[in-house]
Structure 1
Amino acid sequence: MWRHDTWVKPYLKQYKFLLATVLILGVLTTFCGGALMFTSGYTIDKSATHPYNILMIYPAILMTRAFGIGRPVFKYVERLKSHNWVLRVTSQLRTRLYQTVEQDAAFFNEKYQTGNILGLLSEDIAHLQNLYLRTVFPTVVGILLCLIMVIGIGYFDVWFGLLILLLLAIEVLVAPLVSVAIEAARRQKQKNLKNQLYISLTDNILGANDWILSGRKNDFKQATQQTVAQLNTSKNFSKHFRWQRDFYLQAVLGIIFILLLVFTNICFTTSAERANYVASFVLALAPVGETIIPISQGFEEYPTYKDSVIRLNQLHPTPMKLPPQRHLQPQDFTTLQLKHLQFEYNADAPILIKDFQQTIHRGEKLALIGPSGTGKTTLLQLINGDLAPQQGQVLLNDINVLALQEERQKLFAFLNQQPFLFNTSIINNVRLGNENKTDDQVKAAIQAVKMQDLIAALPKGYDTSVQEAGRRFSGGEQQRLALARILLQDAPIVLLDEPTVGLDPITENDLLQTIFQVLADKTIIWVTHHLQGIKNVDRVIFLNQGQIEMQGQPQELYRTNEHFRELYKMDQGFKLN
């Protein structure tokens, strides 16, 4: 796993100096804690012998103050540096994960559910963050401290040093390995249950309206209760195991204390002066326990970290190899050609688009209809270059669209089922279409989509916040604001992916009239399930199993094609003139 890892090792190397600083500060923190206890013990013992001069213990008092100040200072700086290191790394990991997903969104939509992607973002990256904070840092610092302590004790007695080494090995090696062996399966089960919850909760929340409309509110509440109960039960077992393990670790630490007390009494009581160090050596060990006991908890979570590293390293979307980029000015666009397109998501999936051909001239309006899963949205992704066909080409003025990806924002505008509105003002949301436009130009676009009267009635007018996800406005109003963005963008080709889904028939018809009115000079490719508004297009293509089943002008198809006429009547649209 670690040999081919690209999600952990590179960042250990990239920030190695900051990492070394963190580890040194961690060692110094515990060293100062031990030294503080050592000098305090010496000061107490020495004071108990009634020295004839305060100067006899004054150096120890100064050192006690120094180590007392040094411990919290080193601890504070270590926390700052360690969290700075971890936040730097995890911010890069999250950016990288986003870029990995964004590079091949279609791949991830096919392979992962939304809840799974949320699990990747929130769980796996967080686990890598904890890998550093809970396992890597404490383990390295703990081992270094144990080595320092064993070497120090071995200086006085080699055999006693080896005995302490054996007991410390139980703390930093045996107990962590036992924790991994016992907790591995349980932690994996907890992680799987959490991923299941992410998927279930995401699906349930996205379909919350359907749960409510079907009168199944109680079923909605109970949908995840069993999984939550299993997760809580497993966590309780883990909590009980940790309590037992920490108790035994404290017991072993207590044995070390007793042995060290016996050893110092044997070796340091030959004179009154040396006896002052008995309590010092024993007390110096106390802060070490705070460092080495958490190592076991970090190790017990290792299987979870390992699974996260494996999952992240398995993210290998096929990068799209783009040809050398060319330039095409929007005003120069004349023809869009789809030449013998064939597309499939992977070798095991059926062919979605089969030998699709079409030529669309500037200003033409084309509607794509057909059953769900026939490749209509995929065709839009092929047209704007999100996907590359296995065979065939998409050409703009005889230039492959894959060679125009740097120009894509200038050439293509997109309006889908749920355009996203940010929690900022109306004017800022619309200006996203073209940030170089003036306020007057933005307002003109809003006026063109017939939103000016509604906005004028709002308390703050164009500066009114649309609220989170645009919830201040209805679905039709959100689509109109998104349409105003498209007007500002002023791209020659507009791709519509069922923009009226979920709207009532009157709102749908009104919005479609506005769309085709304000985009009259644009080339429109419209994916739809409804035939309402179909009279606004020049051609209709009916897709079925990736192939064209029928095509032609809507009025002509209505007169000559029985299947189209039945579809139109079933859809209960307005009369086709």
Structure 2
Amino acid sequence: MSKKATNPRLLLSKEDTWVRPYFRKYRKLLILVLFLGLLTFFAGSALMFTSGFLISKSASRPWNVLAVYVPIVLTRAFGIGRPLFRYMERLGSHDWVLRMTSDIRLKLYRSLESRAAKSKEEFQTGSILGILAEDIEHIQNLYLRTIFPTLIGLLLYVLIVIGFGVFSLPFALLILVMLGVIVIILPLASVAVNQARVYRRKQERHTLYNQLTDSILGVGDWQYSGRYEEFLARYNDAEKNVRAEDVKLNKYTRFQDFMIQLVFGLIIVAIFIWAGTYFGSGPKGSLNWVAAFVLAVFPLMDAFSPISQGVTELPMYEDSAQRLDSLPVAEPAAAVDETVVVDEPLVNAEIDFENITFSYQETGKVIFQAFNLHVVAGQTLAILGKSGIGKTTLSKILRGDLSPQAGRVLINGQPVASLGEMSRYIGVLNQSPHLFNTSILNNVRLGNLEATDEEVLAAIYQAGLQSVIDKLPEGVNTLVEEGGKRFSGGEQQRIALARILLQDAPIVIIDEPTIGLDPLTERALLETVLSVLKDKTVLWITHHLMSIEQADRVIFIQTGEIIMDDTPQELKETNLHYQYLLSLDYN
């Protein structure tokens, strides 16, 4: 875990890696957004200013319409300019946020993907859901509801005080103090009062996410055990805690809004009195400016009101930044060996595990110690062994999901770390491939997004799905439904197989794909899989020997060593342990 997570003031500090870097990366867009925001409020205030002057001037019955022609034109110009600048400011700010969140989601994916094998162990599903559903949204709101409004409000605050200072320095100081209550004092008071509440609400929401995901994943067991009501009660209690914190925050927000309205009312009264005094002693017609100055204040409420609410939520944003920063740092990609031509896909691939030593640091369990294995290109290698002996671990080391403490893995003599994107070289057919809630065609196309419809169809038929497709009214455009539940287990595996065939990687890992299938379906699936992959280098991880005769070579791993290694025919004739395993599966 990152050490940065212990910093209680991470947000926008130099240690922050999730918010602050984007100020530099998109600084030009930031400047444009702030400028457009200023123009928006300037146009709104100027519209009311010229309108107030126009109304007052018109009420005094000018001798000619030309006397109010300029205010009329300016009123129309500012009336058009305000929504135009607002639209452009919103367009720019949301463009910023979309760019930023795109970068954050990519960074989040790389952070978790870089330790994919450990992510489920280190983070609860609910925690990941909380990051995706709340933390990234909070970072978006940090810009839209806090940073942008606060910076624009502070700039306007300075400009307004300077503007009044041109007319009257004492009154400018009064405006400095009165607006300071809205811009500075109320936001700081809000943070002081609500900081603990915001943290509690966010913590309650993450608790709710964890309980909800944990319960939903095991909802069947809740029902079977007859404790479904207990599940609902637990969820309702967690949700009630969240609502209780929301009620407290909303109550303070209403009070805060009342105080802002009250201060704005006082500011308007003060400006009315000052303008009447200042312009009342001037030449005839000066009183026309009184309404202009008073009305010009009203649009500025929209600039200053959001500051307090946005600053109140800063603790929540800071907590989100800390949670994101606590994620593992994405491991930098290894330097690519210049001798490897990554743009030229491999046709055949041999594999070498050289002196591999690996143990799980969390448990200290040693899986491999100076392990060696050579797999010939185009060979189908069946890997046998008891559960937990390291068969799947070996495949993860091959894919680079796990890094050995010693030794190296080579594909065609090149270290795996130097090959870049492993999906170009390795396909995986595992126990439960994920099928998305889209058509069969789209599910298979994931293997190669650039494949034509004809190539996708060829892979589907090659995987033995033609008889299934022919029975469906919509054919390959049939919706798979979430998790592939429309199809049987064997059919789901065949769709996944078609995806691998379209991927056309030279190495395929088959990790016990027939678990849960009946013997007839299992044999039919294995025959199809091993037949269509006969030209690939196949690592077939299995715990029993159904269709094992189709493998070119069989090894048996025990305590990190290979204790059996030969063709299935030779082992059947000469190895007593292998004969015993066969008898277990076929008798």
Q: TM-score if structure 1 supplies the norm length? A: 0.87
Q: Tell me if the contact between 1:104 and 1:319 (Cα under 8 Å) persists in the aligned partners.
A: no
- Using the TM superposition, name which of 37-46 and 130-139 deviates more: 37-46
**1:99 matched to 2:110:** yes
Amino acid at match of 1:369: G
Is structure 2 residue 478 aligned with structure 1 residue 464? yes
C-alpha distance in structure 2 between counterparts of 1:531 and 1:197, whole Å: 45
Please say if residues 352 and 410 of structure 2, whose CA atoms lie closer than 8 Å, have aligned partners that are also in contact. yes
For the pair 1:367 / 2:383, whether they are aligned, the reply is yes
Match in the other structure for 1:245: 256
Q: CA deviation at 1:332?
A: 4.6
Q: Does residue 181 of structure 1 match 2:192?
A: yes
Classify the secondary structure of the residue corresponding to 2:251: helix
Unaligned runs of 5+ in 1: none
Alignment of structure 1 residues 201-216 onto 2, 5 Å: 201-216=212-227
In structure 1, what is the equivalent of residue 417 of structure 2?
402
- Residue equivalent to 1:273: 285
Alignment of 1:302 onto 2:302 = no
1:317 is aligned to 330
Matched, 1:382 2:397: yes
Instruction: Pick which of 215-224 and 11-20 moved more.
Output: 215-224
Compute the displacement of 1:135 (Å): 0.9
TM-score (norm 2): 0.85
Measured after TM superposition, the shift of residue 63 of structure 1 is 2.5
**Structure 1 residue 529: deviation in Å?**
5.3
Q: Distance in 2 between matches of 1:223 and 1:565?
A: 51
Q: How does 1:51-70 map to 2 (within 5 A)?
A: 51-70=62-81
Report the 3-state secondary structure (helix = DSSP H, G, I; strand = E; otherwise coil) of the residue aligned with 1:273. coil
Task: Return the letter of the residue paired with 1:337.
Answer: D
Distance in 2, Cα, partners of 1:533 & 1:224: 48
Residues 236 and 508 of structure 1, relative CA distance in 2, 3 Å threshold: farther
3-state SS in 2 of match to 1:57: helix
Q: How far apart are residue 295 of structure 1 and its match?
A: 0.2
CA contact (8 A) 1:367 1:534 kept: no
| Paired position in structure 2 for 1:158 | 169
Contact 1:253 1:289 in 2 (8 A): yes
The answer to whether the 8 A contact 2:359-2:366 is kept is: yes
Report the CA distance between 1:175 and its aligned residue.
Answer: 0.9
Are residues 531 and 197 of structure 1, via their aligned partners in 2, closer, same or farther at CA, if it must alter by over 3 Å?
A: farther
Name the structure 1 match of 2:428: 414
- Secondary structure of the corresponding residue to residue 401 of structure 2: coil
Letter in 2 for 1:194: R
Range 442-451 or range 140-149, more displaced: 442-451
Shift, 1:448, TM fit: 4.4
In 2, Cα distance between equivalents of 1:500 and 1:223: 37
Query: Is residue 451 from structure 1 mapped to residue 462 from structure 2 by the alignment?
Result: no
Q: SS of 1:392's equivalent?
A: strand
CA distance in 2, matches of 1:256, 1:436: 63
- Tell me the distance in 1 between the aligned counterparts of 2:418 and 2:281: 87
> Which stretch shows the higher mean deviation, 193-202 or 155-164?
193-202
Note the alpha carbon deviations across 1:532-555, whole angstroms, 9 max, x for none: 5566654353556xx349646787
What residue in structure 2 maps to residue 122 of structure 1?
Answer: 133
Equivalent of 2:39 in 14, 17, 28? 28
What is the root-mean-square deviation in Å for CA atoms of aligned residues? 3.3
**In structure 2, what residue type is equivalent to 1:455?**
I
CA contact (8 A) 1:27 1:141 kept: yes
- Deviation, structure 1 residue 330: 4.6
Give the one of 88, 100, 104 matched to 1:77: 88
Find the aligned partners of 1:240 and 1:568 in 2 and give their Cα distance: 73
